Amino acid sequence: MQEGTAVDLRTGELWYLKLLNNVQAEIHKNGTYDILKKKYFTFR
């Protein structure tokens, strides 16, 4: 995950962490992240 991002998971939920990391990688790769960032996070 990116610096400054936090996710709290229960012990033993490694599968969920892998899922979140895969989703984040995919939205970065396909451009969705940039669209959302531009729309909702216009501050620096």
Q: Residue 19 in contact with residue 12, Cβ under 8 Å?
A: no
In a domain, 6, yes or no: no
In a domain, 40, yes or no: yes
Average pLDDT, the chain: 87
Q: How many helices (H) and strands (E) does the chain have?
A: 2, 0
One-letter amino acid of 2: Q
Q: How far is CA 20 from CA 8, 26, 28, 38, 42, in A?
A: 11, 10, 12, 21, 24
Residue that wins the pLDDT comparison between 41 and 35: 35
pTM exceeds 0.85 = no
Task: Tell me the pLDDT tens digit for each residue of 14-35.
Answer: 999 999 999 999 999 999 999 9
In a domain, 4, yes or no: no
In a domain, 19, yes or no: yes
The whole-number pLDDT of residue 44 equals 64
Work out how many domains the chain is built from and give that number.
Answer: 1
DSSP state of 3: T
31 lies in which domain range? 11-44
In a domain, 39, yes or no: yes
Tokens describing residue 25: 């990688």
